[in-house]
Structure 1
Amino acid sequence: MKWTIRLAAVLLLLLVTAVPAAATSPLDLTSGFYVNPNSSPAVWARNNPGDARAARVQSGIGSKPIARWFGNESDIGGSVAAYTGAADGNDKLPVLAAYNLPGRDACGGHSGGGAGSVGAYRTWISSFAAGIGTKPAVVVIEPDALGDFNCMSDTAIQDRLGMLTYATQMFQQKAPNTFAYLDGGNAGWVAPATMASRLNSAGVRNVRGFSVNVSNYYTTSASVSYAGSVNASLGYAAKFVVDTSRNGKGSSGEWCNPAGRKLGVPAQVGGGAEMLLWVKTPGNSDGLCGIAPTVPAGQFSPNIAVRLIDGT
């Protein structure tokens, strides 16, 4: 009997020591959101001081905390480490978007690319998480990834779910002070119950929660309502964040550089969600469409930026 008690004690000790310490909230480790001095609007304003729009672009957009998006670069670990290190050196919280899945933007078609294979993606996302390490950060994992299924084969869908699950595991294991959010589409795209099922299949329980309205225009209230419906189907109250970068007037039903949209509330804690964030960079084109038919996806346009500032 004594040896069984002793064995049980040893097993309990091993179990306790094997469980990592609970992560500290990155919000508690920092004093506000990081403003990237090299965001595309900030760089444009700095490089075009003689342009009458420059001061307005810098004041209205370039001076605000905006997520930095990371794609298929070779030294992703080094790039992420440098970026989060710069934020940490200023005691600020950086927001990052991981955007490198193979076949990304399958339905939209404007932002294609990504890693060349499942294996390449796994290596990339592992290095991404390791680049953050113990530094505080917020990460949005693969915008649009769970909304594009209608344009994908069953095999591609299963590969994608596996890659996303692996991504959540990497942030869980390698970035303990990061709040990571799997992207959950937007209020006008996928039914809440369907999105909840996809989030579960992609490992949402491994991370902080999910994001909504990334790169879209739905109001904060509509986005919060949608997230609540997703949570009802998830069966637990996952944390969520809302992209408010361009939702000041809500959606017109168009997603690709629509006219008449406006900047939303800048990054803040709370506001109906865990955080309201500018994930999409205001002024960066959605693709060759709408009010910017000649501006490729991801490229900054001062015309788009000023129209968002003015709401025109």
Structure 2
Amino acid sequence: MLITIMMLDSLLKKQVVFVGGKGGVGKTTSAAALAVQFASRQHNTLIISTDPAHSLGDVFNQPLSNRETQIMDNLHAIELDPHEIIHRHFAQVERTLSAYSKPEMMPKLRDFLKSSQHAPGAEEAAMLEAICQQLVSAQSRNYQHVIFDTAPTGHTLRLLSLPEMMQAWTDGLLAQQRRQSKLRQAAQNLDKQANFNPLIPEQENRWEQAVRVLEERRQLFADTRTILHDQTRTAILLVLIPESLPLSETQRAVKQLEHYDLPCTGLIINQIMADQQSDDFWQQRANRQQLILEELQASLGYLPQQKIPLHNDDIRGVDALQAFWQ
């Protein structure tokens, strides 16, 4: 069984589940199998891959895209395409800035935005906003669960910590805007008194529009942060295999999650060999795994865990994912 009944019952109570871990340890298979379990219990579920090196569609044996694709009853899947998301993100930025720019400035502005798409951090910012939007809007779309099949551990930790940092940054920017608005409002009031015309309706000025956009982004990040830190709604699972590097990375990840007040909910330990092997080479490998598992228990034994045996074939398709839990 992939996850014990007790852990599964606990996860069924969560609205959001993040599945992370080092590359190649079985994150996508674990996330997909969990999604199939939710859906088979008539829980409307959305699974989203945030890893640029997508394999979720391969696991389901079905092509996926940025749009929701039905996998089975009560289960839809999305693979977030960074290139499409960054294009949409900067198109929205262009529409917003066009309200503040003179028409003759637009060609240069478009050139600047086009080059900015390749700037360091641009893709990360666009992906973050897309993930936050998916996370916040899932409940309004009648999904009981949203499962995130994430990028390797470092990217996942960055993703989980960014909403808080972005909210703090936006708060600072809004505070600066408010300080400046006092002087600006005084000057505008004097200008209005000198040029008042009762026949011309007042319009929202550019500064107010900019503040409104910032407020909307701040609220998005604040809502995301609230969801991430609500342990009654959100679970974070880490997947690893019994080898030294995945264990070390998992130990660091658990500490970093605790630092951000985002405790790990449980561990999935994948590809465990049988204790007794007929070949000396494989027996040595099995013995080595047992040593790693003992070290794991010593350092992270307080976390709920499930050991998954090494399978002799790839797990692909809904039927295989369903059987993976038996």
Q: Same fold (TM over 0.5)?
A: no
Q: Select the structure that is richer in helix.
A: 2
User: Taking structure 1 as the reference length, what is the TM-score of the superposition?
Assistant: 0.35
Larger radius of gyration between Structure 1 and Structure 2: 2
User: Taking structure 2 as the reference length, what is the TM-score of the superposition?
Assistant: 0.34
